[in-house]
């Protein structure tokens, strides 16, 4: 979806026209103040779709279930080496969660 950028003063002058445009599915309007993005004007339908996706995302996080791996394991390293490997795995896993969350947020913002 395309996006227009307007200053607060310009958006104020064109407010009625902007409302009409976004309500018909037109471009989003990014409103800036002193050159910095401050707000985005979107139509009601787009807002409802984004809200629906956000609620679905929140629900999916709450439904996460723990799993258990059963079996036997033979260690071929010292306890210290095992602890170090566990730290590395935890760091990789934590980064992947943060990256996935950020990617999902970017994807939701694009839609």
* pLDDT tens per residue across span 61-85: 655 556 666 777 777 888 888 888 8
| Structure confidence by residue, pLDDT tens digits, 7-47 | 999 999 999 999 999 888 888 899 999 989 999 999 998 88
- Global pTM reads 0.50
Q: Are residues 45 and 89 in the same domain?
A: no
Q: Are residues 52 and 10 in the same domain?
A: yes
Closest Cα to residue 57, out of 108, 106, 98? 108
Structure tokens, 27: 């471009």
Report the number of distinct structural domains present in the chain.
2
Q: Are residues 15 and 53 in the same domain?
A: yes
Give the SS3 label for residue 14: coil
Structure tokens, 77: 């390293």
Q: In what order do the strands lie in the sheet with 28-33?
A: 3-7, 28-33, 36-41
* pLDDT in the model for residue 19: 92
For 8-94, strand residue ranges (E) read 28-33, 36-41
* pLDDT in the model for residue 89: 85
The pLDDT-based confidence of 49 (bands split at 50, 70, 90) is confident
């Amino acid at each position: 979806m395309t996006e227009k950028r307007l200053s607060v003063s310009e958006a104020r002058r064109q407010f009625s026209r902007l409302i009409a445009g976004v309500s018909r599915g037109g471009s989003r309007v990014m409103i800036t103040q002193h050159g910095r993005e401050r707000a985005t004007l979107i139509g009601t339908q787009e807002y409802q779709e984004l809200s629906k996706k956000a609620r679905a995302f929140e629900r999916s996080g709450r439904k996460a279930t723990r799993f258990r791996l059963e079996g036997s394991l033979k260690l071929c390293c010292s306890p210290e080496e095992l602890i170090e490997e566990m730290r590395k795995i935890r760091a990789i896993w934590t980064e992947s969660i943060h990256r996935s969350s950020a990617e999902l947020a970017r994807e939701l913002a694009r839609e």
